[in-house]
Amino acid sequence: MTSVYIHLPFCSSICTYCDFSKMYYDKKLIKPYLKALKDEIEKIYQGEEIRTIYIGGGTPNVLDMEDLQALFDILDIFNKNKIEEFTIECNSEYLNKEQLLLFKKNGINRLSIGVQSFNDKLLKVLGRNHNTEMVIKAIEVSKEIGFNNISLDIIYGINGQSMDDLKHDLDMVLTLDIPHVSFYSLIIEPHTKLYIESFKEIDEDLNEEMYRYINKVLTKNNYHHYEISNYAKEGYESKHNLVYWHNEQYYGFGLGASSYIGNIRYDNTRSLNKYLKGLYKKDEHQLESKEIMENEMILGLRLIKGVNKEDFYKKYNKRIEEVFPITQLIKDNLLIDDNDYLYIPQDKLFISNYILLQFLG
């Protein structure tokens, strides 16, 4: 147990595509929430040396300076002697010098900035409150303060988005010299505003063209495409997210957070009232060995290098081919077996969900 996820659900506005646990920011709710968060951590955390911490949301940096410092004081509960990566998600409209200095003082060494688009019209479709100028300013100030490990989240595949719009987003990433970027195809999830308003999905062929163009441009510019949606300059891969993709265990604290502890997956409640009363867990599921191996493969095949076959055998005392029907997938060139790794070929990554369904039989 070397990784911790912290969830702060508060937002000043709700994005039209978001299905995470979130609610409107209310200053009066912050102190009770932080108290409940502290109580949950003290009840569950077992004192391990923590290697990565990720503060997500919601919009963590919507909190004011006093409440952010209170949050960091709570996180001092963790043994951070061997911390390697300490990330906080940020929205550019709140990110300023004072806030960044507070982050630096409290050990944050990685910023994940939710940009989504450098097209102000598309930002309105997505329900974002910032504009391109704010993003540029936030990144400039972050670098001045000394934050070099910066990641941007970008959404593509938005109905109404053109290839020229996408090219502009990529140009901005390159111009701003960002070492890590995540490009996510828009998924219209149930219960989101886009879903309720019957927002149409983009043409599938255009969506695939966009994905392939993103890969082409970023790899040409020395980004390592290491996971289906993630690209990094050398040494800037997300250590925290690699914990998930390697199917390793982790703590999750806060409203709606998930944990994987001792082969049990826990999901926290999304009810604020229950959470404030200390009723943190919504459900838990004891994983059988087959489910653990399925998760190993589903998560591992998201990585471009795939799943290490020898590591799989050492963990489960079984060969992958003994557990899963991979022979036909290899014959159909939907999976590649190079003797060391099993992986999805680059030209099939866009249909990875289809391949995983076939893989699971």
- Per the listing, tokens 């190079």 go with 338
Q: How far apart are CA 66 and CA 70, in angstroms?
A: 6
Mean pLDDT across 257-282: 94
Q: DSSP E strands: which ranges in 96-211?
A: 110-116, 150-156, 180-185
Domain boundary among 212, 244, 276: 244
- Per the listing, tokens 């503060």 go with 55
Q: How many domains does the chain have?
A: 2
* Partners of residue 140 on adjacent β-strands: none
> Are 205 and 321 part of one and the same domain?
no
Q: Is residue 264 part of a domain?
A: no
Q: Is the pLDDT of residue 133 over 80?
A: yes
Domain that holds residue 177: 3-244
Question: What's the residue count for the chain?
Answer: 361
The CA-based angle 292-58-42, given to 5 degrees, is 65
Q: Is residue 260 part of a domain?
A: no
Q: What is the pLDDT of residues 62-73, one digit of tens each?
A: 999 999 999 999
Q: Is residue 300 part of a domain?
A: no
> Are 14 and 128 part of one and the same domain?
yes
Q: Is residue 141 part of a domain?
A: yes
Q: Is the pLDDT of residue 247 over 80?
A: yes
Domain boundary among 207, 225, 244: 244
Q: How confident is the model at residue 40 (pLDDT cuts 50, 70, 90)?
A: very high
> Are 121 and 27 part of one and the same domain?
yes
Q: How far apart are CA 202 and CA 261, in angstroms?
A: 38
Q: How far apart are CA 91 and CA 110, in angstroms?
A: 14
> Are 111 and 186 part of one and the same domain?
yes
Domain boundary among 244, 266, 292: 244
Task: Please name which of 71, 77, 31, 80 lies closest in space to residue 53, comparing C-alpha atoms.
Answer: 80
Query: Residues 88, 279: contact at Cβ < 8 Å?
Result: no
**What DSSP line would sit under 5-48, residue for residue?**
EEEE-EESS--TT--SS-EE--HHHHHHHHHHHHHHHHHH---P
> Are 235 and 314 part of one and the same domain?
no
Task: Say which CATH number the domain at 139 has.
Answer: 3.20.20.70
How many other C-beta atoms lie within 10 A of the C-beta of residue 302? 21
**CA dihedral (10, 87, 93, 126) positive or negative:** negative
Q: What is the pLDDT of residues 76-121, one digit of tens each?
A: 999 999 999 999 999 999 999 999 999 999 999 999 999 999 999 9
> Are 101 and 17 part of one and the same domain?
yes
> Are 312 and 238 part of one and the same domain?
no
Q: DSSP E strands: which ranges in the chain?
A: 3-8, 10-11, 23-24, 52-57, 85-90, 110-116, 150-156, 180-185, 224-227, 230-232, 251-253, 258-261, 264-268, 281-286, 307-308, 336-337, 341-343
Mean pLDDT is lowest, of 63-67, 134-138, 187-191, for 187-191
Q: Is residue 83 part of a domain?
A: yes
Pairing mode, strands 52-57 and 3-8: parallel
Pairing mode, strands 224-227 and 180-185: unpaired
> Are 327 and 226 part of one and the same domain?
no
Q: What is the pLDDT of residues 19-37, one digit of tens each?
A: 888 888 899 999 999 999 9
Q: Is residue 261 part of a domain?
A: no
> Are 208 and 77 part of one and the same domain?
yes
- Reduce the DSSP state of residue 329 to 3 states and report it: helix
Question: Percent of the chain beyond pLDDT 70?
Answer: 100
Q: How far apart are CA 323 and CA 321, in angstroms?
A: 5
Query: Residues 282, 268: contact at Cβ < 8 Å?
Result: yes
Query: Residues 256, 6: contact at Cβ < 8 Å?
Result: no
